[in-house]
Structure 1
Amino acid sequence: MKGNVLVARMDNLGDVLLAGPCVRAVAAGSARVTLLTGPRGRAAGELLPGVDEVLTWCAPWIDPDPPPIDPGETEAFVHGLRELFLDAALILTSFHQSPLPLALLLRMAGVPWIGAVCDDYPGSLLDLRHHVPGDPPEALRMLSLAQAAGFSLPYNDNGGLAIRHPLPDVDGLVGGPGEGYVVVHPAASVPARQPSARRSAAIVRALQAAGRRVVVTGSPAESDLTAEVAGTALDLGGRTGLAELAAVLAGADAVVAPNTGPAHLAAAVGTPVVSLFAPVVPASRWAPYGVPAALLGDQHAGCRDSRARVCPVPGHPCLDGIRPAAVVEAVDGLAPIPSRRFARTTPGIA
């Protein structure tokens, strides 16, 4: 058993949520877990089971819009790490990120044992240089690092995504208990991963025409988009924090969302997801994990594996080519309306 362990995942909300199984494995075999996040992922870190403390720092080699490097601030960060008296650290990164800058800072802070998934030569920076064969889901990729470090999930932990409970009561937001609804979350962290507002609005209308009550969600920064998309649907854009959003998603019959943090949040609360997935990153790694899901979008489009932030193909065909009727069909497949389920399974009754 290692005593005081730091787990680092320093990018976005969804990335931190996907680190949950790894964090729980570490928590099961250590006395205390400190989770190091970037500012964009902190809110998710505060929801993860097994975390005792969340520490936040903006890593200039990871954040998409980092401030200029401030030597004094970096020294203060290292000093703060030293005062944690860490026994070990696991650095979680995406396949295109290097763990070595953070490993250097952790060594400067006196951390005696550090592990990471790393292809580059680490010199004296890593004690565990872990390799992951193939292209597994990101949650399993991170969990494998914890397992290589000697940590295991508890016997009763199924390894799925999870967040802390209880969740806030959001009945007043969504219209009261017992009223079924489908969530449409139209936004993603970069434009290449989200459909146009026009296409998202068409999806909302199609779901409504099919008899679904629709709730549209988004952050305060996305409230203009949600207002444009919602029309006569319930617009919760800017009206929920992350815990409240989790509760809204938990109460939904299904969630329709692009590759974005709330899609992983839906998976963490066990709600089926219709994933409008742009192939700029591999779906094998980043599709909703551990829940019933339907993947829509052209996975062989010209933007495939480009990691583009803005769609390089005119017309954004991989997402804006998704037919609203296909979304309705996918939602029905994951969460049939009771009357339709009855009609399909009871021959001879109209």
Structure 2
Amino acid sequence: MDRVSLLRRQPARGQAAADGAPLTVVPPLPEAAPATAAWAAARRILAIRLDNLGDVLMTTPALRALRDAAPDRHITLLASGAGAALAPHLPEVDAVITASGPWMPGGDITPAALQATLERLRAGAFDAAVIFTVYSQNPLPAAMLCWQAGIPLRLAHCRENPYHLLSDWLPDPEPHALLRHEVRRQLDLVGHVGAHTADTRMSFRVLAADRERALRELAAAGIDPGRPYMVVHPGASAPSRRYPPERFAAALRRLAALSGAAMPQVVLTGDASEAALVDSVRASAPAATLAGQLSLGELAAVLEGAALLLANNTGPVHLAAALGRPVVDLYALTNPQHAPWKTPSRVLYEDVPCRYCYRSVCPQGHHACLHLLDPERVATAARELLDLGAETAAPRPLISPAGG
């Protein structure tokens, strides 16, 4: 692949919308790749995505493309525990195998566990494997696993020459020659073997049982789902992507001043480990909390009914985007590829010389790309999106009057 995208940097006080990013990426036009006879005939596909929840969500359009190319295909997702939790909610996935590899972060992995994964892959009798990675991940360990499992077709982006480990190799142009959204990266990958889709939105299927439980959780927290509410998610797995809790609180106070009687109810979310963080926001800004109380499906149901999500750039942003909900994304400039995709959004940050460090901990120690972001700008962006939603369409109800 020798196509190079054109980049236009936005002003320092940047905002992006819909499928934008902290910089405007003019994506390369997909090359119309016809499927080879072998890929066209492949019916049992292994899709490998071993990182986080948001990464799997951003891969769902590519999974749909694989399905659209042959509707009778059976697609198995090989994923980490976090990614595997999505499987019941992904219409493109027929089965899931939970695994981890020593070449990926998180989790203890032993040779015996890796051998057990290999045996499961052999038993799966897969015709083909697609290895989905971000640019900084090496696909070759997963490719070796697939080669050992006897999977004849193996597709991935790769910076090194994979020789026989990949049957279909896309030399990786990122980030030195090309910057593109993560969704586009994976669509380009499967497009190389003739898999395309007209629907490039992300997928997430909310289950009725999760809606019912979420309704009860909201009511118990004092939130009336019949009235507008917004979700605030102040946590993030990487310290470099966390806006300070006192600034979240300041933004909420300013939003209340801008909104008056139109201020939506506020509910804070996070996992159990983020309860103290959520409490520090609540200490100076009125809000209900569901921190540590929601399953993944219940969180999605809460987001589905929300007028807005205000969050750091983390998994719930991609979940809200998959559900088509408006997002104010406080976007640390660690990388430009993971902005909200195809949903109304405001992507807020302060431009810094050290942008795109691709680090989980700020290497400069100042976190300026987020810590210099004025809460006034956050509140104004939230009010703009709330007004836009009121003008276009009301948030979808969490539960229909019939309870369905």
1:348: which partner in 2? none
* Cα separation, 1, equivalents of 2:146 and 2:124: 11
**Residue 98 of structure 1 corresponds to which residue in structure 2?**
138
Q: Residue 231 of structure 2 aligns to a residue in which SS?
A: strand
Identity across the alignment (%): 38
Partner of 1:327: 378
Give secondary structure in 1 for the equivalent of 2:165. Answer: coil
Distance apart, 1:40 and its partner CA: 2.7
Matches within 5 A, 1:23-62: 23-28=63-68, 29=70, 30-62=72-104
Counterpart of 1:146, as a letter, is V
What SS does structure 2 have at the residue aligned with 1:83?
A: helix
Q: How does 1:271-350 map to 2 (within 5 A)?
A: 271-282=325-336, 285-298=337-350, 300-336=351-387
- Contact residue 303 and residue 311 of structure 1 kept, 8 A: no
Pair 176,110 (structure 1): closer, same or farther in 2 beyond 3 Å: same
| Secondary structure of the corresponding residue to residue 247 of structure 1 | helix
SS of 1:46's partner is helix
Asked whether the 8 Å contact 1:204–1:230 carries over to 2, the reply is no
Contact 2:309 2:317 in 1 (8 A): yes
Deviations 1:321-343 (A, max 9, x none): 222221111112222188999xx
Distance in 2 separating the partners of 1:24 and 1:338: 28
8 Å CA contact retained: 1:297, 1:319: yes
Task: Kindly indicate whether the alpha-carbon contact (under 8 Å) linking 1:183 and 1:215 is maintained by their aligned counterparts in 2.
Answer: yes
User: What SS does structure 2 have at the residue aligned with 1:86?
Assistant: coil
| Match among 210, 228, 234 for residue 180 of structure 1 | 228
> Where in structure 1 are there 5+ consecutive unaligned residues?
342-350
Asked if 1 retains the 8 angstrom alpha-carbon contact of 2:101 and 2:114, the reply is: no
Distance 1:313 1:43, change over 3 A: same
SS at match of 2:329: strand
2:280 matched residue in structure 1:
228
Q: Is the 8 A contact 1:37 1:45 kept in 2?
A: no
Contact in 1 for aligned 2:76/2:94 (Cα 8 Å): yes
User: Deviation at 1:291?
Assistant: 0.6
CA contact (8 A) 1:160 1:268 kept: yes
Q: 1:201 to 1:5 in 2, by over 3 A?
A: same
Q: Are 2:255 and 2:380, in contact at CA under 8 Å, matched by a contact in 1?
A: no
Tell me which of 310, 323, 335 is aligned to 1:256: 310
2-structure distance, mates of 1:131, 1:236: 44
| SS of match in other structure, 2:340 | coil
Residue of structure 2 in register with 1:14 after alignment: 54
**What per-residue deviation string (whole Å, max 9, x for no partner) do you get for residues 36-73 of structure 1?**
1112322234322210111111122121x342x52222
State the alpha-carbon separation in 2 of the partners of residues 145 and 339 from structure 1: 38
The separation in 1 between residues aligned to 2:143 and 2:166, in whole angstroms, is: 7
Q: Which has the higher contact order (CA 8 A, sep 6+)?
A: 2
1:315 deviates by 4.2
Mapping 1:161-200, distance limit 5 Å = 161-167=202-208, 168-169=210-211, 170-174=214-218, 175-200=223-248
In the alignment, the residues of structure 1 paired with residue 151 and residue 390 of structure 2 have an alpha-carbon distance, to the nearest angstrom, of 59
After TM superposition, the score normalised by the length of structure 1 is: 0.89
Partner of 1:16, secondary structure, is helix
Instruction: Quickly say closer, same or farther: Cα 1:338–1:31, change in 2 above 3 A.
Output: closer
Residue 42 of structure 1 aligns to which amino acid in structure 2? A
Q: Is the 8 A contact 1:17 1:45 kept in 2?
A: no
Q: Which residue of 2 aligns with 1:205?
A: 253
CA contact (8 A) 2:128 2:154 kept: yes
Q: What is the deviation of 1:314?
A: 4.3
Any conservation in 2 of the 1:208–1:214 contact (CA below 8 Å)?
no
1:152 matches 2:191: no
Cα separation, 1, equivalents of 2:117 and 2:130: 17
Q: How many residue pairs align between the two structures?
A: 333
Task: Indicate conservation of the 8 Å contact 1:193/1:278, yes or no.
Answer: yes
- Contact 2:312–2:331 (CA<8 Å) still a contact in 1? yes
Contact 1:184–1:204 (Cα < 8 Å) also in 2: no
Which position in structure 1 is the counterpart of 2:298? 244
Q: What is the one-letter code of the residue matched to 1:38?
A: S
Q: CA deviation at 1:316?
A: 2.3
Kept in 1: contact 2:206–2:297 (CA 8 A): no
Change (3 A) 1:14 1:311: same
- Counterpart of 1:254, as a letter, is L
Q: 1:344 matched to which residue of 2?
A: none
Q: Deviation of residue 131 (structure 1)?
A: 4.1
| Local SS of the residue matching 2:130 | strand
- TM value normalised by structure 2: 0.78
Q: 1:321 to 1:340 in 2, by over 3 A?
A: farther
State the superposition RMSD in angstroms: 2.0
Partners of 2:255 and 2:383 within 8 A in 1: no
Q: Is the contact between residue 100 and residue 125 of structure 1 (CA under 8 Å) also seen in structure 2?
A: yes
Partner deviation per Cα, 1:148-192 (whole Å, 9 max, x = no partner): 122222x5xx21112114452223333233210121111111110
Whole-Å separation in 2 of the counterparts to 1:62 and 1:302: 29
SS at match of 2:378: helix
